[in-house]
Amino acid sequence: MSAGPRCSKCGATEGTFIRYSRGAGGKRQYYYCNPCNTARHKAYRKNGGMAAVNAAIKKYERDNPLRRKAWTSAQRIPLAPCERCGSTENIHRHHDDVSKPLEVMFLCPLHHKERHRELAAGSAA
């Protein structure tokens, strides 16, 4: 029984593995054997690669002009420490209301995610 990584696609336990991390802090990890990783990259290139990603970004920006305006306006505001814990690392700007682009909360990733949960639950204070 192998204690090493297992390919996330085919389940193979033998061979060279490439690890990818996703999510906050790399909490979700994927391992791919060489053949599966090659197939994954070929599919990505076949489906447009970065051109498809850039097209999706442009479409989102076109469909959400208020969010885009709020984001670009907020970029001019200097970063400040997290309003909840005082951390100064990896600070995010957060808008509760995108129609007020200069009303920005400065939050660390943990508290930014927490704020979105509060808004989703309807307990925004």
Residues 111 and 65: their CA atoms lie apart, in Å, by: 26
Residues 116 and 90: their CA atoms lie apart, in Å, by: 17
pLDDT tens for residues 54-113?
A: 998 999 999 999 999 999 999 999 999 999 999 999 999 999 999 999 999 999 999 999
Evaluate if pTM is beyond 0.75. no
CA distances from 93 to 3, 15, 32, 70, 105 (A): 42, 43, 35, 10, 6
Under the banding of pLDDT at 50, 70 and 90, the label for residue 124 is low
Which pLDDT does position 1 carry in this prediction? 47
Which pLDDT does position 23 carry in this prediction? 62
Mean pLDDT computed over every residue of the chain: 87
pLDDT score of 2 more than 60: no
Percentage of residues of the chain with pLDDT beyond 70: 90
Show me where the domains of the chain are located. Answer: 1-47, 65-121
Beta strand pairing call for 105-107 and 92-94: antiparallel
Under the banding of pLDDT at 50, 70 and 90, the label for residue 26 is low
- Do the Cβ atoms of 50 and 58 come closer than 8 Å? no
